[in-house]
Amino acid sequence: MTPRDLASQLQAHCGDLVGSLVEFRGEATLTVREARRIPEVCEYARTALDCDLLLDISSIDNYGEDPRWTIVYELYSLKHRAHLRLKTGVSEEQSELPTLTRVWPAANWHEREIYDMMGIRFSGHPDLRRILMWEGYPHFPLRKDFPLAGRTTDLPEVAFTEPAPMEGGPFVTAPGQAGAAEREPRARTNHP
Amino acid sequence: MKGKRELSYDSKIEGDVVVTRLEAAINWFRKHSIWPMPMGLACCAIELMGAGASRYDLARFGMEVMRFSPRQSDVMIVAGTVTYKMALVVKRLYEQMTEPKWVIAMGACASTGGMYRSYSVLQGVDRILPVDFYVAGCPPRPEALLEALMKLQDKVSNERVLATLKQAG
């Protein structure tokens, strides 16, 4: 089955729950209209469509729009060698959707990362803690309204943070005129 | 004397005695057995391992004994990106090292935060530790680290170690 076949089977089973198919360079993307029903859609994709791998879950901050959050699920079927992408929107007031850990155990750490970076909660998750930042860090650093340089925080005995000096950009460097041979220090300089 | 000038110490002439200053002798012992603590946090640690392996051979300087216990090491080589999550751990390890102790910030990240101008990376390990030498590079080649360690040897050989001991006592 191709990505298009997977998508059309999922559409046939779920009816109005999923939107129309978007295809781009052979990749199939479907939008799930109700975020709270994402587990049943994925359960069908895993069992009936053999999407046995959950490759990734990511989140998008559509800052200033509604719904603010988009959650993207990247599925793969080893049997059909085909990808399928599911998207769903979650409003800022809600900022919560059900976990997929009971469909794919791999969802556990992906969802923890989204909770850590974006502050979107996954109801029913067995262990919803921060995964990269430390417990007690008060911000969600991948949100669009969080400054790139960071903010001042202090959690005694655990960690502190300070804003980084941006100096006009995230990373500024000017290329030199010299070629690599003159620029780089080498152990041996007697090259031909 | 066979018409050849002896510039070095000759035990046949001077006997089994070498006269020197106590401070010079202690510093001489110290500078040839500086045991590093490999605080390897990112890719600079790979170059640090390269410096310790056979091609660059830190053993030539008496520094091949990488100690993973801070209590047995003399110089902490901070090799890599120090995140805020790791910062206080690095500081605590430094505090557990016994005197005398030195710190080398290896590479751009340990020196200044490098290209990580971000919310999660400490902008230079000198914000929490007293750094003796900064090594430029991303990552620095093993020769650059060796240069810093040789400079550290020079620094050690000129330390006023007896004055320090009197202060402590």
- Interatomic CA distance for residues B61 and B77, integer angstroms: 15
> Can you tell me which residue has the tokens 């992408």?
A85
Cα B107 from Cα B126, distance rounded (Å): 13
Interhelix angle A3-14/A38-47, nearest 10 degrees: 130
Lowest mean pLDDT among A78-82, B28-32, B45-49, B159-163: B159-163
Tell me if the pTM is above 0.90. no
Give the tens place of pLDDT for each residue, A115-130.
999 999 999 999 999 9
Under 8 Å between Cβ of A68 and A92: yes
- For the cut 60, the answer to whether the pLDDT of residue A91 exceeds it is yes
Find where tokens 């490999």 sit: B38
User: Taking the CB of residue A48, how many other CB atoms lie within 10 A of it?
Assistant: 11
Query: How crowded is the C-beta side of B161, counted as CA atoms within 13 Å?
Result: 18
Q: Per residue in B158-168, pLDDT tens?
A: 988 887 766 55
User: Which of B84, B118, B141 is the closest to A159 by Cβ?
Assistant: B84
B118/A157 touch (CB, cutoff 8 Å), yes or no: no
Strand spans (E) along B27-132:
36-40, 75-79, 102-106
- What is the distance between the alpha carbons of residues A109 and A57, in angstroms, rounded to a whole number? 9
Read off the tokens for B55.
């091609």
Task: Give the ipTM of the model, two decimals please.
Answer: 0.78
Query: A177 versus A88: which is more confidently predicted?
Result: A88
B105 vs chain A: nearest CA distance in angstroms? 19
Q: Which of A37, A57, A41, A45 is nearest to A109 (CA)?
A: A57
Alpha carbon distance A19, A30 (integer Å)? 6
Closest-approach residue (CA) in chain A for B142: A187
Picking from A162, A183, A186, A188 by the largest number of B CB atoms within 10 A of its own CB, the best residue to mutate is A162
**Cα–Cα distance measured from residue A161 to residue A172, given in angstroms and rounded to the nearest whole number:** 22
Average the pLDDT over B37-54 and give the result.
Answer: 93
Beta carbons within 10 angstroms of residue A116's beta carbon: 21
Both tokens assigned to A53: 């791998």
Test the A interface: residue of B47, B56, B119, B122 with most A CBs within 10 Å:
B119
- Is residue B138 a contact partner of residue B80, using CB atoms and an 8 Å limit? no
